[in-house]
A and B are shown apart, each in its own frame.
Chain A
Amino acid sequence: MSDVSIFDRPVLQRLFRYGCTLCNNQDDAYDLLQYALEKILQNQSSRQHASDLAYVRAIMRNRFIDEYRRSNRFPEQSYDDNSTVAMDETSLEDMVIAQVDLEIVWEILDPFEREILYYWAVEEMTAQEISSQIDVPRGTVLSRIYRVRKKIESEIGSGRLSGGYKL
């Protein structure tokens, strides 16, 4: 990414979509992105990262976590890093869902579960790569994947989905 500027329009769109994933709100995502860009330009040491998407995303993520802690909206679910989860990112590959049902599922996922899905689906990362990207143990990533799948299965069981799904 060294020849790409974070101010290129396609890159701004990518970062905005990452923000939308965390915030689930386009206005908040815009504010988050603007904050990260301003932050990176504030001091000279940050400017050397001006082509580093991962660095910008890390700023967005940290800011998002701060904001959510402040507003007590931070998800309190615990992820057992040491639990053995017989599941990795490939366990999501076989899932099929209608767009309208994804909208319902998206609402019940917490920001960090949506973030895992973003990296898996949009950036096409493995669990190991996601783990490095967001600086959490791989076990935590696997736990979140497991939880996402369970939540989708639970929604299907509740009959709220239109039926355009398959596990």
Chain B
Amino acid sequence: MNKPLKQSIVDKLESYSLNDEQLQKLESLAPQPVPETVHRIPVFPYVIAGAVAAFLLVFFLTPLLIEQGDMRERIAMEVAKNHIKLKPLEVETSSINGIRDYFEKLDFVPLNSKLVSQSGLELIGGRYCSLQGITAAQLRVRKPGSSDVQTLYQTEYRKDVFKNMPVMEEGDEPLELFVKGIKVKIWVEKGLLFALTELPENDNQK
């Protein structure tokens, strides 16, 4: 199938990936944090225990929370950036089966999202893409009769990459972040990570 040269190059290079073993080897090169030296302080033992517990909480939880927040923002930024670009579709279809037929090289099966179906959005088509380095399907959807298209990402939910995300089956609500003037919803459903762009509500009213 003919594609723009640029897209063919991107697709070719995205087919090259480090495997888990290689990634772990390279990650092991990263400098390890220097362990803190604990000094004996002559104060009441419960105070020391409390201070140590507080230190451990801050030491372990803060980086996790920062990393998680950072990942959410990076996903939203990547999705919003690519939504604004609106690169050409590689396949045009209004059915999920048409999408599955085209995206046969993915490591997962593209699915209908309950949340997307409830919003009454219809499929327009899609293209191969990636999200934080993980191969993804970038789909385009819209409300019937509307000219405003929305971008819907689907990819395998890799917890090691995407960290903790709200899971619909566990009753969580989707995350909502605003990036570059666009609302990006992120959630996990049926083992897939979804990200959907929307115009902020008061901008949808014409």
Instruction: Say whether A93 faces chain B, with CB atoms less than 8 Å apart.
Output: yes
Query: Does A102 contact B9, Cβ atoms closer than 8 Å?
Result: yes
Query: Does A34 contact B14, Cβ atoms closer than 8 Å?
Result: no
Query: Does A3 contact B11, Cβ atoms closer than 8 Å?
Result: no
Query: Does A10 contact B2, Cβ atoms closer than 8 Å?
Result: no
Query: Does A99 contact B12, Cβ atoms closer than 8 Å?
Result: yes
Residues of A within 8 A of B4 (CB): 93, 95-96
Known: A12-B23, A96-B2. Contact between A29 and B16, CB under 8 A? yes
B 5-18 to A, binary, CB cutoff 8 A, 1 in contact else 0: 11111111110111
Query: Does B13 contact A17, Cβ atoms closer than 8 Å?
Result: yes
Q: Closest Cβ of chain B: how far from A147's Cβ, in Å?
A: 15
Residues of A within 8 A of B133 (CB): 9-10, 13-14
Query: Does A13 contact B5, Cβ atoms closer than 8 Å?
Result: no
A26 interface neighbour in B1, B3, B16, B30, Cβ under 8 Å? B16
Task: State the total of A-B contacts with C-beta under 8 angstroms.
Answer: 92
Q: Closest Cβ of chain B: how far from A18's Cβ, in Å?
A: 9
Residues of B within 8 A of A9 (CB): 23, 27, 132-133, 160-161
Q: Closest Cβ of chain A: how far from B103's Cβ, in Å?
A: 15
A 127-155 to B, binary, CB cutoff 8 A, 1 in contact else 0: 00000000000000000000000000000
Instruction: Say whether A87 faces chain B, with CB atoms less than 8 Å apart.
Output: no
Considering the chains assembled together, what is the distance between the CA atoms of A68 and B67 in angstroms? 39
B16 interface neighbour in A5, A17, A95, A117, Cβ under 8 Å? A17
Interface residues of A, Cβ cutoff 8 Å to B: 3, 5, 7, 9-10, 12-14, 16-17, 20-21, 26, 29-30, 33-34, 37-38, 41, 47, 92-93, 95-99, 102-103, 106, 117-118, 120-122, 164-166
